[in-house]
Amino acid sequence: MKARRLDDGELCVLLDEREWRIFSALLAQYASGLDRPSPPSHSNKDPVIEESNTWLREMQAAHRQSLVKRAATWLEAGSTSSPEDTSQKMLRLSGHDVEWMLQLFNDLRISHWMLLGCPNEADLKSEKWTEAQLPSVWSMGLCGMFQSVLLQALNGSGKPGDPSGDEITP
C-alpha cells in the first residue's frame, strides 16, 4: 500500500488486490454495524455537565450512525479506479474523506479492543488469544496500519520523489 499527498491536497492511495480486499472488508464490517459493548459513561454531579454529557452521548451515537452510512455509501459507489495494466486499485481521497476514514478505522479498532476486553498494550502483544479472538486482534492491527499510512501521507512523507514512501504490506 502506498499513499501520497497530491498538490491539490488530496491523497492518492494505491492498493494491491489483497490490500484492497482487506480495506473494503474492514469498511464493510463497519457498515454492517459491528456489535460492541457500551462505552463507559462519564457521570458528573454537576447538573450542567451531566446535561452536556447526555447530549454528547447522543451526538456521538448519531455521528457513529453517519459514519456507518458513509461507509456503506462509499462502498456502493465503488469509489476506485484501476490504473491501466495493473491489478492495483487507486483511491483519490479528499481531505474530508481522509478524516472520516481515520475516524472509522479508529472506531473499528476501539470496537475490537473492547470486544477483547480492553487489554493493555502489553497484553495486546501477547500470543494468548483464543482462536475466536484472533479476528479482532487482526482487525485492530489492520485498522492501525491503514490509519498509519494515511497519517504518514498527510504529514508529508510519501510526496512525489520521497523515496521513503509509505509502503506497508499487511
Can you give the binding site for other proteins, defined by CB under 8 A? 42, 44, 46, 48-49, 52-53, 55-56, 59-60, 62-63, 66, 99, 102-103, 106-107, 109-110, 113, 118-121, 124, 144, 147-148, 151-152, 154-155
| Grid cell for residue 117 | 476486553
Grouping H, G, I as helix, E, B as strand and the rest as coil, residue 14 is: strand
Query: Measured from the CB of residue 150, what is the shortest distance to other proteins in angstroms?
Result: 9
Residues 6+ apart with CB under 8 A from 29: 108, 139
| Grid cell for residue 99 | 478524516
Query: Measured from the CB of residue 71, what is the shortest distance to other proteins in angstroms?
Result: 14
The whole-angstrom separation of Cα 70 and Cα 108 is: 14
| Grid cell for residue 114 | 473492547
Question: Considering beta carbons, is residue 144 or 170 the nearer one to other proteins?
Answer: 144
Question: Considering beta carbons, is residue 25 or 49 the nearer one to other proteins?
Answer: 49
Contact 87, 17 (CB under 8 A): yes
Question: Considering beta carbons, is residue 2 or 70 the nearer one to other proteins?
Answer: 70
Query: Measured from the CB of residue 147, what is the shortest distance to other proteins in angstroms?
Result: 6
The whole-angstrom separation of Cα 21 and Cα 100 is: 19
Query: Measured from the CB of residue 81, what is the shortest distance to other proteins in angstroms?
Result: 26
Question: Considering beta carbons, is residue 30 or 89 the nearer one to other proteins?
Answer: 30
